[in-house]
Amino acid sequence: DGGITQSPKYLFRKEGQNVTLSCEQNLNHDAMYWYRQDPGQGLRLIYYSQIVNDFQKGDIAEGYSVSREKKESFPLTVTSAQKNPTAFYLCASSISRGHEAFFGQGTRLTVV
Amino acid sequence: KNQVEQSPQSLIILEGKNCTLQCNYTVSPFSNLRWYKQDTGRGPVSLTIMTFSENTKSNGRYTATLDADTKQSSLHITASQLSDSASYICVVSADKLIFGTGTRLQVFP
């Protein structure tokens, strides 16, 4: 099946720990994105990548890091510097930036 | 400032009834507008996409309208079903995607 896969679906982290969220797509899309969704707010862009080995900060990049070593993979690391990491994280991809985005099923991260 | 505002924030209707969701935007330059459906705990799924020149587009029981002059869009759901219960997100594309906060729709039997 073609699509975008996020794992895990649920993730629990202790304060002070880094954690990495996985995102893989087999749609041959150049652009990939990470969004954060909080209750009552629209999706906010964390990082995006338009091509392999290149990525740019979004609106709320502080406390997060990414890599884009392969076209199909765009992992997101939530570091201990992120003060309020509990949220629903969505990964998306598109042919190029501004085109229709296809979303994964999301990862719900909870800090305990 | 690029913004997308949706109303109402939440809506409750009975199964079989129609409803209309609103989206107002102040985004420039405008490329296209999309409506997404997001089930609880899942990723958004695209319903419709409309460019500047399109006024109406349908996808089954979903009909989206766009007035580029007033910068307004609506999503009309006909003969609602329980499975329509979800959040509906309006997304406007400029040089990047601008997301609305969504309308939470609940359909009761």
Tens of each residue's pLDDT in chain B, 109 residues: 789 999 999 999 999 999 999 999 998 888 889 999 999 999 999 999 888 888 999 999 999 999 999 999 999 999 999 999 999 999 998 878 889 999 999 999 9
Hey, are the CB atoms on B42 and A97 less than 8 Å from each other?
no
User: Which tokens hold the place of B9?
Assistant: 């924030």
Residue type, A26: N
Q: How far does the CA of residue A112 sit from the closest CA of chain B (Å)?
A: 19
What local confidence, expressed as pLDDT, does residue A1 receive? 54
Report the residue count for chain B: 109
Residue A99 burial (CB < 10 Å; 0-12/13-18/19+)?
Answer: middle
- Whats the size of chain A, residue-wise? 112
Closest by Cβ to A90, choosing from B43, B91, B102 = B43
DSSP bridge pairs for A65: A77
Q: What is the pLDDT of residue A65?
A: 97
- Mean pLDDT for chain A? 93
Report how far Cα B59 is from the mean position of its chain's Cα atoms: 12
Query: What pLDDT does A2 receive?
Result: 65
Is the CB of B101 less than 8 angstroms away from the CB of A42? Answer: yes
C-alpha A73/C-alpha A23 separation (Å) is 6
Could you report the average pLDDT of every consecutive run of 10 residues in chain A (112 residues)? 88 92 96 92 92 95 97 96 93 87 95 88
- On whether the CB atoms of residues A95 and A32 are closer than 8 A, the answer is no
Whole-number pLDDT of residue A106: 96
Q: Please name the member of A97, A104, A106 whose beta carbon is closest to the beta carbon of B41.
A: A106
DSSP A7-70: E-SEEEE-TT--EEEEEEE-S--SEEEEEEE-TTS--EEEEEEEETTEEEE-TT-TTEEE--SB
Q: In this structure, which amino acid lies at residue A17? A: Q
Are the C-beta atoms of residues B90 and B100 closer than 8 Å to each other?
yes
Using the Cβ of B101 and the Cβ atoms of chain A, whether some distance falls under 8 Å is answered with: yes
Q: What is the pLDDT of residue B59?
A: 93
Read off the amino acid at residue B60.
G
pLDDT at B95: 77
Numbered residues of chain A with Cβ closer than 8 Å to any chain B Cβ: 6, 35, 40-45, 88, 90, 92, 97-106, 108
